[in-house]
């Protein structure tokens, strides 16, 4: 047998980022000290402490909301769409200019592979700002009437899986529509949001238009429950989403929620098999499976199930797990110990339920939080691993016999964020897609994102849409 | 089963059985295949990996000249280059083969002798393949008799596009017969000319057709048609090699040819091989790069790795 082709380490340099030892809050255009406690943000691949982060107190949140209100009343609501667009374009270009810095920082703080932060997250961030910059002076043509109005101050709480991208999904449409924002990044991944604050300063964005308050659940609660906000936008777990919906109920606040998912990736027997295998990998192992729309339930036609799973396992054997900064790494670190324990727990439940666990043969680094790509076969609809969101690199494989059974099983979930369909037959794609109770349906691809395309869920996956023209509605005074 | 091994022997009986089999292969989604090839081409091959890959790539080159203006002098200088790619550095491996037109085989064979560098001859009315079977067989026989170690034949793309699969099957089988005439053991490379087949479904079908009919290698292109070799086409062909091995246990070789000019290009192809069919294919016995200008770029990169400096085109030989 010939000598193996071993890829030498190809680490991206960290020297491009400067991480301060501690960070305050970004309120009214300036970094200020918080009045609360602090938490540490760590690199999940090494457990190294990256920086100390302020936990915004109720008083800090109040200060931020008031700053946003002032900026809305005095400046932003009087700024024309064309002017707002200029700021958004400027931010987009700055994101592009500083893309390497942002990508390295995102990878350090989140644990995702540099190839993903470099090739997916950051380019999409810039694309979202460019896209919504284009809408800012065209709102009267967006189909919401002749003069749609902004809502005011938006409180936005985002998750840790795509820290800067989720920030862009929230801030870009809000600002384009004429709102000001107070955004709380996740407690484990606040650093790129704080770097984004620096970009806002660099872009000369008027003070108070964007405010960043860091912290954990309590800070988020204070923000969404603050009486001074007009709009709440949340992306995260269904559990927290329900709590937010309860707290917002009975107020005049508008609410959009983008929550969990347990997407079915349906493979028919006439699927393009090699590309399907790639799509399954992209569906559940992209970003370590920390994706709300992940294709975590593989529904494969029984007649090809064994062969497909064999091919899938062979492919998973080529995935490279390790140092997220290495340009050849495919699978990075799990974002936190808490999440790792949840994944371990649910995988253990899969074992107990009698599903067959298969794990890719790869060495896990000694330090940091890691979970090898895992496939459960012999899973049935009654299993918890077929119903609960694991939010990790764990795939549950189920089978079906007929197209109608596939549709029935795919929709048999409290969630409804996304779905995938794999077949060479166009008419089957159209028929199946129309039957899916899911906000996003991909055909012969998976986990593809674009700012022009609306994204959002059915049922317990939330309500409201982000992205595209539809994404504007969440930030305008329209039904 | 997507692919049924028990039926393979029966497939070549008729046009309709071939059609049933080839059209029953799983389809190739073009967007997905392009995306996979593009994703693999972002692999970062540096330092020791690059040094390893450069030497591996050199050892896999079919150093090629296929011009109307080829002369004995040109072929001699190509053979000298194949034997000692860098005259100042004996640690540089030899190329796998020299690839020439049929009438220059004897000359190349005389120069290369038993050095281990093979002589490959293009045959069967290369590059168009537009001649009668008897002419194609005579062309191939001529090359084998002159001592060619490898025959690079072209398929009749017209026959393929009009669905006459059996004709191609029989032609390949007949040329394979010629390769083994009189105790000869020439290897048969079958050129699909994927630039003329256009769709990846066609590429996959043509790959299987060639393997069913007895190809030892499948090869993308003549180099006379654009596009020649591309990464996604090579990916699709490598997947066919992998699936064939799954069923038969036999490893068929793969040769992208044409348009591969830089070290960076070559690295991308090696990564594709490594992550699609695996280490077993990372040998000149199973993977070749059909190229002419590629070798000098590999040599320049090799010099750069050894000295830390870029030299320049005057520090590699013009052939």
Q: Which of B31, B32, B43 sits opposite A7 (nearest CB)?
A: B43
Strands (E), A275-417: 297-301, 356-359, 374-377, 394-400
- The CA R_g of chain A, rounded to the nearest whole Å, is 22
Q: Which of B109, B219, B265, B268 is catalytic?
A: B219
A6 CB neighbours in chain B (<8 A) are: 48-49, 52
Task: Give the burial string for A262-294 (b: 16+ CB within 10 Å, else e).
Answer: bbbbbbbbbbbbbbbbbbbbbbbbbbbbbbbbb
Q: Could you report how far apart the first and last alpha carbons of chain B are, in Å?
A: 51
Q: Which of A264, A458, A214, A471 is nearest to A379 (CA)?
A: A264
CA distance A473 to A466: 9
CA distance B25 to chain A (A): 9
Chain A residues whose C-beta is within 8 A of a chain B C-beta are 1-8, 10, 115, 119, 270-275, 278-279, 304, 307, 318, 327-328, 424, 444-445
Q: Do you know the residue count of chain B?
A: 319
Task: Give the burial string for B139-176 (b: 16+ CB within 10 Å, else e).
Answer: bbbbbbebbbbbbbbbbbbebbeeebbbbbbebbebbb
B5 CB neighbours in chain A (<8 A) are: none
Q: From its phi and psi, is residue A35 left (phi > 0), alpha (psi between -120 and 50) or beta?
A: alpha
What is the average pLDDT value for chain A, to the nearest integer?
97
Q: What's the pLDDT score for residue B8? A: 83
Q: Which of B2, B271, B274 sits opposite A304 (nearest CB)?
A: B2
Mean pLDDT calculated for residue range A413-435:
97
CA distance B187 to chain A (A): 20
Coil vs helix vs strand at A338 = helix
CA distance A222 to B106: 86
Mean pLDDT calculated for residue range A193-197:
98
CA distance B137 to chain A (A): 35
Residue with tokens 């317990």: A460
Residue with tokens 């002159």: B146
A326 with A343: CB under 8 angstroms? Answer: no
Q: Which of A116, A187, A258, A466 is catalytic?
A: A258
pLDDT of residue A222 exceeding 60, the answer is yes
B282 with A2: CB under 8 angstroms? Answer: yes
Residue with tokens 């790795």: B305
Q: What's the pLDDT score for residue B318? A: 87
CA distance A114 to A107: 6
Burial of A453 per CB tally in 10 Å (0-12, 13-18, 19+): middle
Q: Chain A interface, mutation test: which of B28, B30, B32, B240, most A Cβ atoms within 10 Å?
A: B32
CA distance A61 to A4: 56
CA distance B41 to A337: 33
Q: Which of A8, A270, A307 sits opposite B46 (nearest CB)?
A: A8
Q: What is the pLDDT of residues B96-142, one digit of tens each?
A: 999 999 999 999 999 999 999 999 999 999 999 999 999 999 999 99
- The CA R_g of chain B, rounded to the nearest whole Å, is 19
Percentage of chain A beyond pLDDT 90 is 99
Coil vs helix vs strand at A226 = coil
* pTM of the predicted structure, to 2 decimals: 0.96
A7 CB neighbours in chain B (<8 A) are: 43-45, 49
The structure tokens listed for A108 are 């350090």
Q: State whether B36 and A274 contact (CB < 8 Å).
A: yes
Q: Which of B100, B182, B175 is nearest to B134 (CA)?
A: B175
CA distance B11 to B20: 8
Which residue in B has a C-alpha nearest to residue A8's C-alpha?
B49
CA distance B102 to A312: 44
Q: What's the pLDDT score for residue B2? A: 53
Q: How many other β-carbons are positioned within 10 Å of the β-carbon of residue B261?
A: 14
The structure tokens listed for B312 are 């320049």
Q: What is the pLDDT of residues A292-320, one digit of tens each?
A: 999 999 999 999 999 999 999 999 999 99
Burial of B266 per CB tally in 10 Å (0-12, 13-18, 19+): buried
Residue with tokens 């590059």: B127
Mean pLDDT calculated for residue range A393-403:
98
Q: What is the pLDDT of residues A17-56, one digit of tens each?
A: 999 999 999 999 999 999 999 999 999 999 999 999 999 9
A287 with A446: CB under 8 angstroms? Answer: no
A163 with A109: CB under 8 angstroms? Answer: yes
Q: What's the pLDDT score for residue B1? A: 43
CA distance B26 to B28: 7
Q: State whether A6 and B1 contact (CB < 8 Å).
A: no
Q: Which of B20, B273, B133 is nearest to A4 (CA)?
A: B273
Task: Kindly list the distances between the CA atom of residue A438 and the CA atoms of A128, A293, A456, A474, in Å, as whole numbers in the listed order.
Answer: 23, 10, 8, 19
State the DSSP code for A358: E
B118 with B171: CB under 8 angstroms? Answer: no
Q: What's the pLDDT score for residue B6? A: 67
B48 CB neighbours in chain A (<8 A) are: 6, 8
A318 CB neighbours in chain B (<8 A) are: 275
CA distance A375 to A392: 11
B2 CB neighbours in chain A (<8 A) are: 273, 304, 307
Q: Which of B3, B1, B41 is nearest to B205 (CA)?
A: B3
CA distance A184 to A188: 11
Tens of pLDDT, residue by residue, chain B (319 residues) = 455 666 788 898 899 999 999 999 999 999 999 999 999 999 999 999 999 999 999 999 999 999 999 999 999 999 999 999 999 999 999 999 999 999 999 999 999 999 999 999 999 999 999 999 999 999 999 999 999 999 999 999 999 999 999 999 999 999 999 999 999 999 999 999 999 999 999 999 999 999 999 999 999 999 999 999 999 999 999 999 999 999 999 999 999 999 999 999 999 999 999 999 999 999 999 999 999 999 999 999 999 999 999 988 899 988 8
Q: What's the pLDDT score for residue B319? A: 81
CA distance A202 to chain B (A): 32
Which DSSP string corresponds to B24-65? TSPP--HHHHHHHHHHHTT----HHHHHHHHHHHHHTEEEE-
Q: What is the pLDDT of residues A224-234, one digit of tens each?
A: 999 999 999 99
Q: Chain B interface, mutation test: which of A3, A268, A274, A308, most B Cβ atoms within 10 Å?
A: A274
A34 with A54: CB under 8 angstroms? Answer: yes
Instruction: Please confirm, yes or no, whether B152 is among the known catalytic residues.
Output: yes
Q: What is the largest CA-CA distance in chain A?
A: 73
């Amino acid at each position: 047998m010939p000598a193996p082709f071993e890829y030498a380490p190809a680490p991206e340099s960290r020297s491009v980022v400067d991480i301060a030892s501690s960070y305050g809050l970004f309120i009214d255009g300036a970094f200020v000290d918080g009045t609360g406690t602090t938490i540490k943000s760590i690199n999940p691949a090494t457990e190294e402490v990256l920086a100390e982060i302020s936990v915004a107190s109720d008083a800090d949140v109040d200060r931020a909301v008031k700053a946003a209100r002032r900026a809305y009343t005095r400046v932003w609501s009087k700024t024309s769409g064309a002017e707002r667009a200029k700021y958004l374009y400027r931010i987009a270009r700055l994101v592009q200019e500083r893309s390497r810095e942002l990508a390295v920082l995102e990878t350090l703080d989140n644990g995702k592979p540099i190839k993903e932060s470099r090739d997916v997250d950051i380019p999409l961030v810039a694309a979202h700002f460019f896209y919504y910059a284009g809408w800012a002076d065209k709102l009267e043509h967006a189909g919401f009437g002749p003069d749609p109005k902004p809502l005011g101050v938006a409180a936005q709480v985002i998750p840790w899986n795509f820290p800067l991208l989720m920030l862009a999904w929230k801030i870009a449409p809000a600002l384009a529509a004429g709102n000001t924002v107070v955004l709380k990044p996740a407690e484990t991944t606040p650093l790129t949001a704080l770097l984004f604050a620096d970009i806002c300063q660099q872009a000369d964005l008027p003070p108070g238009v964007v405010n960043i308050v860091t912290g954990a659940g309590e800070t988020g609660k204070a923000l969404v429950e603050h009486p001074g906000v007009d709009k709440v936008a949340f992306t995260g777990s269904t559990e927290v989403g329900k709590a937010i919906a309860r707290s917002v109920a009975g107020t005049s606040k508008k609410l959009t929620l983008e929550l969990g998912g347990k997407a079915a990736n349906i493979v028919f027997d006439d699927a393009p098999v090699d590309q399907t295998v790639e799509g399954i990998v992209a569906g559940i192992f992209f970003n370590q499976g920390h994706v709300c729309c992940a294709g975590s339930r593989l529904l494969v036609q029984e007649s090809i199930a064994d062969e497909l799973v064999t091919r899938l396992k062979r492919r998973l054997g080529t995935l490279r797990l390790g140092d997220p900064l290495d340009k050849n790494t495919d699978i990075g670190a799990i974002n936190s110990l808490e999440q790792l324990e949840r994944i371990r727990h649910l995988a253990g439940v899969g074992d107990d339920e009698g599903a067959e666990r298969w794990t890719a043969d790869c060495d896990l680094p000694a330090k940091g939080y890691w979970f090898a790509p895992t496939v459960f076969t012999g899973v049935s609809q009654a299993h918890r691993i077929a119903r609960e969101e694991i939010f990790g690199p764990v795939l549950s494989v189920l089978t079906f016999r007929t197209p109608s059974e596939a549709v029935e099983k795919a929709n048999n979930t409290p969630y409804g964020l996304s779905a995938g369909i794999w077949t060479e037959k166009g008419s089957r794609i159209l028929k199946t897609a129309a039957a899916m109770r899911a906000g996003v349906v991909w055909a012969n691809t998976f986990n593809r994102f674009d700012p022009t395309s609306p994204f959002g869920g059915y049922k317990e996956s939330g309500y409201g849409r982000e992205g595209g023209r539809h994404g504007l509605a969440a930030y305008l005074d329209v039904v | 089963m997507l692919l049924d091994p028990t039926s393979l022997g029966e497939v070549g009986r008729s046009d309709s059985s071939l059609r049933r089999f080839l059209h029953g292969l799983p389809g190739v989604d073009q967007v997905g295949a392009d995306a996979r090839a593009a994703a693999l081409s972002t692999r970062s091959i540096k330092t020791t990996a690059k040094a390893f890959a450069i030497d591996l790539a050199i050892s896999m080159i079919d150093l090629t000249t296929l011009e109307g203006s080829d002369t004995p002098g040109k072929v001699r200088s190509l053979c000298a280059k194949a034997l000692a790619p860098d005259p100042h550095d004996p640690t540089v491996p030899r190329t796998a083969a020299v690839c020439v037109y049929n009438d220059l085989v004897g000359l190349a064979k005389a120069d290369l002798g038993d050095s281990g560098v093979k002589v490959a001859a293009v045959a069967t009315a290369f590059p168009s393949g537009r001649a009668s079977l008897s002419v194609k067989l005579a062309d191939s026989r001529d090359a084998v008799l002159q001592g060619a170690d490898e025959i690079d034949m072209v398929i009749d793309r017209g026959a393929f596009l009009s669905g006459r699969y059996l004709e191609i099957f029989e032609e390949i089988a007949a040329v394979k017969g010629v390769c083994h005439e009189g105790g000869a053991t020439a290897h048969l490379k079958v050129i699909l000319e994927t630039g003329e087949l256009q769709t990846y479904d066609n590429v996959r079908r043509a790959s299987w057709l060639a393997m069913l009919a007895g190809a030892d290698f499948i090869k993308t292109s003549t180099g006379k048609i654009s596009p020649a070799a591309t990464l996604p086409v090579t990916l699709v062909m490598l997947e066919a090699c992998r699936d064939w091995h799954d069923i038969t246990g036999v490893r068929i070789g793969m040769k992208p040819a044409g348009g591969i000019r830089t070290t960076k290009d070559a690295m991308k192809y090696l990564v594709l091989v490594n992550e699609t069919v695996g280490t077993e294919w990372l040998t000149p016995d199973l993977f070749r790069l059909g190229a002419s200008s590629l070798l000098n770029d590999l040599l320049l990169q090799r010099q750069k790795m050894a000295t830390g400096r870029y030299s320049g085109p005057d520090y590699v030989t013009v052939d």
